[in-house]
Amino acid sequence: MTDTVDAFVEERVPPEFRDIVTMLREMMRGCAPQATERISYGLPMWIGKSHLAWVSPSKRDITFGFTYGREFEDRYGLLKGAGKHARHVKIRKLAEANQEALRYYILQAVERDSR
C-alpha cells in the first residue's frame, strides 16, 4: 500500500488525470495551508481538526470530496452525493474544472474545521 501522496499519484492515478490532482494539491496548499496532506483510508486526504477533503481516482474521472460538504452553500451547483455528510465534485478534464468553485468549497471546509 502506498504511504505517501506522491507514490499514490504515481501508482494509482491514471496519467491523463494527474494534472487535475496536481492542481487540487496546489489549491489545497494555498487555501488550507494548515491542513496535513496524507494517505488516510487508502486515499489522499487533507486533515485539519477533522478530515477536510479527499481525492479518489477512477478510470473515468477524479472525485474531489468534502467530508462535511452537505453543510456547504453550493451557489455553483456542483456538489453531488446523497450521503449523510459528504459531498463531491467529479472532474474529468483540467480545462473544465471550475477552480473558482473549488476554492469556494475548500474555504468553506477550512472555515467549518476552524470552529
Q: Does the pLDDT at position 41 exceed 60?
A: yes
Residue listed under C-alpha cell 471550475: 98
> Could you report the per-residue pLDDT of 3-33, keeping only the tens digit for each?
799 999 999 999 999 999 999 999 999 999 9
Q: What is the pLDDT of residue 109?
A: 98
The answer to whether the CB of 47 falls within 8 A of the CB of 36 is yes
The three-point CA angle 85-88-107 to 5° equals 85
**Domain residue extents for the chain:** 5-114
pLDDT over 60 (residue 110): yes
Neighbours of 80 (CB within 10 A): 13
The second-level CATH assignment, the architecture, of 5-114 is Alpha-Beta Complex (3.90)
Q: In the predicted model, is pLDDT for residue 2 greater than 70? A: no
Digit-coded pLDDT (tens) for 58-92: 999 999 999 999 999 999 999 999 989 999 999 99
**Residue 59 CB partners (closer than 8 Å, separation 6+):** 14
CB-based contact 6:39 (threshold 8 Å) = no
Residue 57: CA count within 13 A, CB half-sphere: 21
